[in-house]
Structure 1
């Protein structure tokens, strides 16, 4: 049995159960199991997939900061087309630069932060209008 934690995804709080199994985090959310891989050097989620379905967790157009830090650079502008996985923002936290990536394919519809700005965890940074 895993450890219970509260997580925030796109401004909504969820209670999840997490367990590390063979280097992959197993996350149970509302009875559904997900495998979550992290980038060990940067300590951010690289990919989350529901077990048995191949769907992505949290595939919305709101990109939020996972950790507090300083916006080093914004690599996109309103109107730019992006693909899931494209780096859109560089955030510095604890003297390390972290890549924040698009979660969906789409077009940048709003940028809610500025380079040089300090942000708290779970703050929306930009919006992507998903493409079908």
Structure 2
């Protein structure tokens, strides 16, 4: 389970999310929703949820992230928010923003252990579906470990690099 805080305007919400196979569980403000991942491709993802009365709802989701800022298009509506990152105690080294969001191949590693980086610096380049996807530093810090090698196939959600805040 991954826990993080989302900030939209001045409102903050704690979110817990987990994925097992095609099932995605999201808990916000004590309410849990269970989704099934129906499809995932270069056009985004399609989620489905079965309500208590048996009806099914579908959501088309496309997103963009830059550091801690996120923008998603959900069924044609735009939502902007910021992911509040954990600080200190090394917890940031397991941050999901330092992981692949979809299965990919490590195209290039642009940093080494011990390198000091600034927020927004490109750390790793991934290739998936003929696209190059940069993994960027969500905050300034020091690279403490690399958990991947160039040419390696990586799965979504697995930390690729450890970054401790300076």
Q: Residues 117 and 127 from structure 1, CA distance in 2 versus in 1: closer, same or farther, beyond 3 angstroms? A: same
TM-score (norm 2): 0.50
Q: Which runs of no fewer than 5 residues in structure 1 stay unpaired?
A: 1-6, 17-28, 32-39
User: Over aligned residues, Cα RMSD in angstroms?
Assistant: 3.1
1:100 is aligned to 135
Q: CA deviation at 1:73?
A: 0.3
| 2:126 aligned residue (88, 91, 102) | 91
1:58 is aligned to 85
Q: Residues 123 and 104 from structure 1, CA distance in 2 versus in 1: closer, same or farther, beyond 3 angstroms? A: same
- Of the two, which has the highest radius of gyration? 2
Kept in 1: contact 2:109–2:149 (CA 8 A): yes
Q: Which structure has more helix as a fraction of its residues?
A: 2
2:105 is aligned to 70
Q: CA deviation at 1:61?
A: 2.9
2:149 is aligned to 114
Specify which structure has the bigger relative contact order, considering alpha-carbon pairs within 8 angstroms and separated by 6 or more residues: 1
1:15 is aligned to 26
How many positions carry a matched residue from both structures?
99
Q: Residues 104 and 112 from structure 1, CA distance in 2 versus in 1: closer, same or farther, beyond 3 angstroms? A: same
TM-score (norm 1): 0.62
Kept in 2: contact 1:8–1:122 (CA 8 A): no
Aligned pairs for 1:35-46 (under 5 A) are 43-46=63-66
Q: CA deviation at 1:129?
A: 1.1
Runs of 4+ that moved beyond 3 A: 7-10
